[in-house]
Structure 1
Amino acid sequence: MPSCVLAYSGGLDTSVILGWLQDQGYDCHCVYVDVGQPCEDRQAILKKAHDCGAKSARIVDVQEEMCRDFAFPVVQWQAKYEGIYLLGTSIARPIIAKACLQVAREVGAEAFAHGATGKGNDQCRFQLAAEALDPTVKIIAPWRMANFRATFPGRTEMIAYCAEKNIPVKASTSKPYSSDENCLHISYEAGELEEVDNCGVTIPDFGMTVSPQAAPDKTEQVTIGFEAGLPVSVNGKKLSSLAIVQKLNEIAGRNGVGRIDIVENRFVGMKSRGVYEAPGITVLYAAHLQLEQLTLDRDLVNLRDRIAPEVARDVYYGFWYTAKMDALLAFIREAQQPVTGEVTLGLYKGTIEVHGRKSPNSLYDAAIASMEGGGSYDQTDAEGFLRLQGLPGRVQGTVRPRKY
């Protein structure tokens, strides 16, 4: 029998897909890739997969790797898709594909199956990542297959199929929205959120942040330490990459920091409304930027800022395992070498204030920048500087007089 690896969550969609793949003659190896999604009993998910006929089932925990090798380099780039979205789901998909492909190689499976729809971005991220890692892999995306959609036009048919096959699922035929969670963020979309004039802070039952109105009436300070642009500590305590994200999720979340509402442009072309909460990563972006202002020179930051939107697009689209991304990650590792130090932020009812910043590599020199008299800056030097800067304008003004 042909065999495939299925990115398996144990929810309605992947439970149905597991049964359907077996109906098509596949041996299925289920892989629950742990990226920090909520789950009361992961062993129960594996048992369910076995009970439903999976050839094998396993859990692969990639949370530390995802924070260290995927999320933190994106923070170093200050990459935000369309200037807002912090890429929490986009970052998770290539490492899920990687984990599934590693299992496929181990068990000798020739195909990789996933439950992403044919309308969304995740199908792109899964496929582009998988094919880059193994160009020979067969991708099975049931939601893009006409016979699967004909069999399961909606949730009612999926629930009925599970009842017929004795597949236990917790699902209802209608939901006000859908959500996807990992250790970096939670995304909310679909359902009532598809009406873009609906208020995005009143529909989701937020899981990582309190509302700013319910946050404490007192500012909470948090100090984040960086080495070469990578977060290494919170409030003076050295922590693993995952522990840093988790700690900042806790601190920022209780202060109502990190909610985002965006109408974004999906890779496949349509616009989509999403509501996100990413408390810890929001704080990391803010702290990292403040430290860069001390430690990086103007031209390097300007170059990074010109490229960052392209990095964000490539991550969002799913082009993680490419020569271009390899080069971009190598560039940012080198560019971030001086970004070492600490930043103290004040969190208050959804807002972030800068309370302090320091670095052994600071380029800020008060003697030069001071507006007081004296110092090491000779103001007369500006005369020649501005004469040279203004030379092209003066020549143009002579040849092409402007009306004023």
Structure 2
Amino acid sequence: MTTSTNGTNLSDELLASLDASIDDVSTASTLPPELYTSPDVLAFETEALFMKEWLCVGRAERIPNVGDWFTVTIVDEPLIIARNKEGKVCAMSAVCQHRAMQVCEGEGNNTTFKCPYHHWNYGLDGRLLGAPAMERTEAFDKADFGLPQLRVEEWQGFVFVNFDADAAPLAPTLERYTPFLANYDLENAICPGTFTLENMPWNWKVMFENFNDGYHANRLHQFVQDFCPSNMSEFPVPWSDDSNVIFRTGGYTHIDGGFNATHRVIMDVFPDLTDEERTRSTFALMPPTLCFGTAPDQCFFFLVRPTGPETIDIEIGYIFHPSALDDPLFEQKMLLSDAGVQVFVQQDQDATTKVQQGLRSRFAPRGRYSWQEESHIQFNRWLVQRYRGGSTPDARA
């Protein structure tokens, strides 16, 4: 038995077994398979991780104007991300405080949000502005029924939200990685749009591990990624327990490498990059929702949203220097670039699907790590801290 019957806690036995996954990479073992398959574990993670950590919901440029908004659902919590009348990004629950209907879906531009069920009307800041026919309801005060607010922080052009009003600021916990992004000027870079893969059949942690796994780089992706081989993976900044980013670099065999059939860049290279930065990619995890990577001519991100213990939605986007979009051939180049990326995506999807299937087996191992998997140990340490911090003796009793 690995979890309590109500799914709100992890057992002492399971928590103790995690010591083996946070040791040095030369001696550590992989995480217990049940962490990837159990509904109770996801229920625990929802409270211990997703309700307490900073969650990336997209790019700020998606809502450039006052009144712009979009919706996103994370672990069954529908949210509205909007730019309010003061021009600031805000985040709030999309659940009407009358009868719990979702007040809006999709995206748009509005001055207010009107619930279609009974026409309760909310401002861009979530305040309840109007509630028809409530004048006979005793002690009813509109000020008490606004849409619940979340904390918001912007970092490198991304919007993060947090359900925990007392959470520490995000940016200081990402400082290990920010020097690697300085020359990309991501706040002024451009993401032309995103697309979403729905109900992919693997656990969210499988996704994170695969994204930052240098060990499989030119093994699973043999030929298509030989320019960025596994043995050129480096882990440049020592892990710190107060960090919310896990990252590595992947060196190239030549300058201006690209993840396509030519092994060369297709788009305009970010002009401020150094020669060193043009001969590597970085691969970073900002759990539990953002996987982010860089290349000389583009950055790429995956927003990971669990839909069940063994399924996720993945929103995928690419980021370019503004000059790339000025190229008359941008659309054609984008097709070429995406064709190359799809080779990686298909290979990764096949692998992660089969890994998830294997994790359900009675023979699923607690395997051993290669030195090229140092990032996994760092991810384990991030995870285990929060598992233990969210698991209380009273709940386990």
Query: TM range, normalised to the smaller chain?
Result: under 0.3
Structure number with higher relative contact order (C-alpha < 8 Å, ≥ 6 residues apart) = 2
| Superposition TM-score, scaled by structure 1 size | 0.23
Provide the TM-score with structure 2 as the length reference: 0.23
Higher strand fraction (1 or 2)? 2
Q: Return the index of the structure with the highest Cα Rg.
A: 1
Bigger fraction of residues in helix: 1
